[in-house]
Structure 1
Amino acid sequence: MRAMSQERQEPWPWKATWPLIILTLISTFNYLDRSLLGLAMPAIKQEMHVSDTVLGLISGLAFVVVYSLLGVPVAWVADRYNRRNIIAAGLAVWSLMTAFTGFVSNIWQLAMARFIMGAGESCGAAPSNSMLADYFPAGRRPLALAFYGLAPTLSFALFFPLAGWITEHHGWRKMFIAAGLPGVAIAILFLLTVREPRRTAGPSGKSFKPSASIMQDLKALFANRCFVWMFAGVTFMGANVWAAGAWTPTFFARVHNMGMAEASAVIGPSRGILGAIGVLAGGFIVDRLRRDRLSWRITIPALACAAVGPAEALFLLGDNKTIWVAGFAAASFFTLIHQGPIYAAVVNVVNSRRRALAISVILLGAGLIGNIVGPTAVGILNDALHPALGDHAIRYSMLVIAFTPIVAALCFYRAAAFYEDALAQNE
């Protein structure tokens, strides 16, 4: 803990600012490239004569499964070898596959491009988080990782509208080509301007010899009670985020009789702008904590998640527009506050040679398990309640997104109880 206190007193490492900026840009293209298929699906369906089910499997589940499961062994390798090169190679691969999507002639080629894209993107997030943990001292990591967490917002706010314009005026194929080619140039720029940072020791300062088995490292991670509770917390928050993302437009259509244009006008600014403010606020608040408030680095995310539950309930059950808009806005602000602080806490409580692996496991919980459980639970409840409640059944089935943040808050609260011990025991 002494090392943690010393690191908190260090000034912002300005030499690390460029790596932070370019890694955030890479992550922005990561989110953009995977999302483009949603814009193109109507045109692809008409051109290739395939069902919604097939398009849904290719665009969603197939990508997430490859991305999440392959991310674990990729991260294990990144803990042992040059992370910069792994990220650059992955970026080049998924960018080329994005561009290649503009040339596919049938659904099987599209599926192949999507699978390889998922494999390439699995090289991004976990090694990037690990690199940033070595570029920034522990006290500055929450703010740095919060800035890195702005990538989805930047993707949808800056590049998604441009991609839509290209699709409308030049066709969906040109959109994929235009989105993919810059990634290759960014990969080269990344290789030329960013160095692989020296791996920093944990708080104990002990040396660590990487194990020869991925299973040994996974066993060590899950022997860490603080990590286990954080994994549970991000999994429940993943269920919240994925369920809300999948069903909120349908909720607006069924309950408030909104068209997609009107619904997107509400969802975009709230989830985008307020979400980004929340991400930065979480990182900034934790970054400013006193040195003797270590457990509050996780307690504050717990409190933020606890606030999401009532806000989502107001949004779902409120009939008065002022009430449900306020609930939606508050939920948008609080939902991602946990992101920067929790990712920083994860890399703080594990050894530097397990950081990428730890982040990949966290992403597996939030991305794969959360994606499967959250939207599916709402869909099952929709079908069960629809005979009695009709279209308004979704108001109650979506209470899943009010329940999961409360459980996540309890998980993070338990993790906070073990945080200081985890820091002291870090190898």
Structure 2
Amino acid sequence: MGSSQTRGTALYTLGFLTLISTFNYLDRSLLGMALPLIKSEMHVSDTTLGLVTGFAFVFFYSLLGVPIAWAADRYSRRNIIAAGFALWSLMTAASGFCSNIWQIALTRLLMGAGEAAGPAPSNAMISDLFTPARRPLALSIYWLAFSIGSLFLVPLLGWVAQHHGWRAMFIAGGIPGVLLALVFLLTVREPARGGTEAKALPTAKAGMLESIAYLLRSPSYLMMGGCAACMGANLYAAGTWSTTFLMRVHHMSIGEVAATTGPIRGIVSLIGIFGGGLLIDRLGRRNLNWRLWVPAIACLLAAPTEMMFLLGDSKLVWMTGFGLSSAFVLMHQAPVFALGMAVAPVRMRAMASAIFLFCSAMIGQALGPLLVGWLNDILAASYGEQAIRYSLLINVVTAIIGGILLLLARRWLTNDIARTERGDAHG
């Protein structure tokens, strides 16, 4: 934490950004929880559901993410985050009033527009609240949002869906965010840019195309972006279809899924994300390589544990696989985003984060859920309701590729960081 921010202010801001991110993950995941109920009511195919959950959300999310990040590198990140938070929360609540699948698709489009204003500006704010050495740990805390939502809010809203219907679940999930957006706007200050660096870095504003061109000339950044795309496909495919998988294959109710898997995923992923952050915080100060080795190993370990979850018939086996994969599959996020901003100039950090999110969303969220839904329909003729366990095996492949890409990124990382510290905007 730099001198421009008191410790209390930095921690308060980090805590609030984490809370906002919790709703970011929660609101986009509610549709995955509700899919079996919506399918039963609206009589649509798995391919259509995959298209609505993935592409409908990601269209505006990806389209607007980069220009919003460019604006965040120039103007108030706090105001952008607050406006986006209010919009996506309103659209979450509005989903509860939809009467057909196309209305749900429309609310997903607009929800994506709002959520595009969340992660990239938040990552950039955190980079200006904490020093480079502490940044991976701070971002690990920020990425605990997924775990917090899974542990506390998913079981609560699963209970709402079980007893009051899926529409009530969306309304209950959306309304609090509108109020919290106002509190965030009134109580959080915009941090000074570059105030936590050990030495002064260039802070000149850059055009959108100039920022994109600079980042695309960073080989390590490209490798990490490829990992973000692969693991995005993994995360969004699992997030969209895991509830359906457990209901079809293991015959659980939506309430049982939320009450069982939500807390398990929350606790175990919390341990994995925060433990990985602590490990990198300790080892990364001695050797920069560990900032890539730890998340790479985690991605590679996610592959066999995903297979245990999907192919295990014994409850002990598939629950063990589910728990272990939850520990590994999110461990890459904080270190990858921290290093993405380490190779980016101060005024390109929101853009650097946004391009990672674009890779994760455009490839991951658009294709992951859709591909699984399409494979479900193709394989259903041969395997019936068991088809989904084979469709979801794409997560094993994406985890392996993601880990390999991070190992390759190490070759260029040191030079790419040095280029940024020199202020070389063209080399």
**TM tier, shorter chain?**
0.7 to 0.9
Q: 1:409 to 1:192 in 2, by over 3 A?
A: same
Alignment check: 8 A CA contact 1:343 1:359 kept: yes
1:26 aligns with 2:12: no
1:314 aligns with 2:317: no
Alignment check: 8 A CA contact 2:89 2:178 kept: yes
User: Residue by residue, what CA displacement relative to the aligned partner does 1:285-327 show, whole Å, maximum 9, x if unpaired?
Assistant: 1112253301211111111111112222333444555444433
Q: Distance in 1 between matches of 2:336 and 2:345?
A: 16
- 1:44-63 counterparts in 2 under 5 A? 51=44, 57-63=51-57
User: Residue by residue, what CA displacement relative to the aligned partner does 1:201-253 show, whole Å, maximum 9, x if unpaired?
Assistant: 767744243233x2222121111011000001111111222233344445445
For residue 352 of structure 2, the aligned residue among 358, 370, 379 is: 358
Give the number of equivalent residue pairs.
417
Match of 2:204 in 1: 209
- 1:351-390 counterparts in 2 under 5 A? 351-379=345-373
Question: Normalising by structure 1, what TM-score?
Answer: 0.84
Q: Distance in 2 between matches of 1:175 and 1:228?
A: 39
Alignment root-mean-square deviation, CA: 3.4
1:60 positional shift: 3.9
- 1:261-410 counterparts in 2 under 5 A? 264=258, 266-289=260-283, 291-318=285-312, 321-379=315-373, 394-410=388-404
Q: Residue 358 of structure 1: SS of its match in structure 2? A: helix
Match of 2:77 in 1: 83
User: Residue by residue, what CA displacement relative to the aligned partner does 1:146-173 show, whole Å, maximum 9, x if unpaired?
Assistant: 1111212222332334434555666666
Q: Which moved more, 1:394-403 or 1:377-386?
A: 377-386
Q: Which moved more, 1:344-353 or 1:105-114?
A: 105-114
Alignment check: 8 A CA contact 1:204 1:425 kept: no
Match of 1:417 in 2: 411
For residue 135 of structure 1, the aligned residue among 129, 139, 146 is: 129
Q: Distance in 2 between matches of 1:90 and 1:357?
A: 17
Runs of 5+ unmatched residues, structure 2: none
Q: 1:373 to 1:158 in 2, by over 3 A?
A: same
Alignment check: 8 A CA contact 1:90 1:121 kept: yes
For residue 192 of structure 1, the aligned residue among 186, 190, 208 is: 186
Q: Distance in 2 between matches of 1:239 and 1:107?
A: 23
Q: 1:141 to 1:318 in 2, by over 3 A?
A: same
Q: Residue 288 of structure 1: SS of its match in structure 2? A: helix
Q: Which moved more, 1:301-310 or 1:162-171?
A: 162-171
Q: Which AA in structure 1 matches 2:206? A: S
User: Residue by residue, what CA displacement relative to the aligned partner does 1:45-79 show, whole Å, maximum 9, x if unpaired?
Assistant: 888x6746766654442122211221111111111
Alignment check: 8 A CA contact 2:158 2:259 kept: no
- 1:5-154 counterparts in 2 under 5 A? 13-37=7-31, 51=44, 57-101=51-95, 111-154=105-148
Q: Distance in 2 between matches of 1:171 and 1:300?
A: 42
Q: Residue 215 of structure 1: SS of its match in structure 2? A: helix
Q: Which moved more, 1:114-123 or 1:331-340?
A: 114-123
Q: 1:228 to 1:261 in 2, by over 3 A?
A: same
1:422 positional shift: 1.6
Q: Which moved more, 1:308-317 or 1:282-291?
A: 308-317
1:81 positional shift: 0.9
Match of 1:4 in 2: none
Q: Distance in 2 between matches of 1:246 and 1:218?
A: 30
Alignment check: 8 A CA contact 1:225 1:418 kept: yes
Q: Distance in 2 between matches of 1:389 and 1:168?
A: 28
Q: Residue 133 of structure 2: SS of its match in structure 1? A: helix
Alignment check: 8 A CA contact 2:54 2:365 kept: no
